Chains A and B, each alone.
Chain A
Amino acid sequence: MYTDKVMDHFSNPRNAGVIENADGIGEVGNPVCGDMMAFYIKVKDDKLDDVKFQTFGCVAAIAVSSIVSEMAKGKSLKEAKLITKKTVTESLDGLPKEKMHCSNLGAEALAKAIKDYETKISE
């Protein structure tokens, strides 16, 4: 059902965990409907110096979170904002159709974390 890439990220998730005193935090989903993701970012010189995530959910949800963290880490905020559901799916060599809607929330969670950071610094 899942591609090798998905299974690799599920089995060996990159950047799992929490950043204490994160510059931005983004949470999406909720455990009642199935998947929930939290992204934590550390920003330095307008770049994502560190990205970590926590995920409650299925194989797809965990793999999506892992690859988003990998895609985002080291990127400028501007570049990181270009990560979408579509680019995430492509990087994983595809996701099952029924998983596209509820499990593919990583890009959204990351965007929320960046927004959280931007709101904080503009205050």
Chain B
Amino acid sequence: MEFAFDLSAAVAVIATLLAISSLDPVHALLYLIVSLLAVAMVFFAIGAPFAGILEVIVYAGAIMVLFVFVVMMLNLGRAAVEQERRWLTPRVWAGPAVLALVLLAELLHVLGRMPAAAGIGEGTIGARAVGAALFGPYLLAVELGSMLLLAALVAAFHLGRNE
């Protein structure tokens, strides 16, 4: 499984890099969808098939389609790409890139000093185990999640009205 993991991890990193550096919002969204599908493949490789399926259906299938629909409704066109080109100069992204790289280097340093942990990906945690835990000890969290979704639904309906 290491082969599948490394390959899809590389795809995820490259697609994410292209997504945050792309000028056209539609291209960025499509790269982001590729990145999410690659992360779903990582989930399959480390033995979490239910999370991988949810990643494909909900993240890449629902949330990203929502983004694509909003981009279609905004109908940005060529002028937006030109504006992005003016905004995204090396002077703008160099500083944040250095800061993010420093934080990432610290994180990798700490991870490198960790004692060698046991491997992941041996055995599979299927949908049955997840469902039993979800509607057993985590029932309250499910109810809170449903209330959060209801609140988001009301807020999106209110904010999205056409005056």
Partners in one complex: no
